[in-house]
Structure formats: structure tokens, C-alpha cells
Amino acid sequence: MTTTGTKLFDLSFLEQMDDQAFIIQVINLYLQDTASDLETMRKDFSAGDLDSVYKTAHKLKSSTGMLQANGLFGILEKTEKTAKAGSLTGELTGLMESGRAEFEVLKLALEAHLQQLPAA
């Protein structure tokens, strides 16, 4: 699945381990944890806690990178840098909204991918 001609994710890094059950577990944990972390980041942003926004974006960036979900990774990278700069800007608001929207598209694609995998 793609947006604007680019792949939403690439599991080749995980597939090198040749362990289908592990891949399924990683994707399920990613979907669960990322949804929760994005909500936490939104609440921290609303409370003006940019240090927590920075830390959560950094954490999410790492797990998103493992799935090579480059669209969301780029948004999280910009979010991390903007929050670290310590300014409650409109740019940060837009990044937070873009991150949530990008995750929803990624979530659907990962869920569809999970449906195609044979049960472990």
C-alpha cells in the first residue's frame, strides 16, 4: 500500500529473522503501543509539556524506523525537533495532526498485511 507513490512500510528488516510469529507480535505491539503513545503525546502537548512530547516522539521514531514506515518517521522526526526547541507553535500542532493521520493510514495497511500472513 502506498501514499503518493511511496511504500507505507517495509518489513524486510524483520523478515530477515525468518520468524513469522515474531513479526506478527511486533506489528501487533506496534499498533497497540503507537496508538497509546500518540494519545499520550497529544495530551502532553495540550498540557504544554513539550519535554514529554519530545521524549515520546523520540520513542515512536525508533519503533517506526524498525518498520521502515518512512512517512510517519519523518513526521515524528520533525515533531521531536520542534518539541525539543521548546516552542508551542502552529507547526507543532500541524505535525501532531499529520502524525495521527499518517498513523491511521499505516495502521490500516499493517492490519491488512497481518490478515495476509499465515497464522503462526
CA distances from 92 to 63, 73, 106 (A): 21, 15, 21
Q: What DSSP line would sit under 16-47, residue for residue?
A: TT--HHHHHHHHHHHHHHHHHHHHHHHHHHHT
Q: Identify the structural domains of the chain with CATH numbers, from first to last.
A: 8-116 (1.20.120)
CA distances from 56 to 23, 44, 53 (A): 23, 9, 5
CA distances from 111 to 28, 29, 118 (A): 9, 12, 13
Tens digit of pLDDT per residue, the chain (120 long)? 444 446 899 999 888 988 889 999 999 999 999 999 999 999 999 999 999 999 999 999 999 999 999 999 999 999 999 999 987 778 899 999 999 999 999 999 999 999 988 765
Of 73, 76, 57, the C-alpha closest to 65 is 73
| C-alpha torsion sign, points 10, 61, 92, 32 | positive
Predicted confidence at residue 1, as pLDDT, reads 41
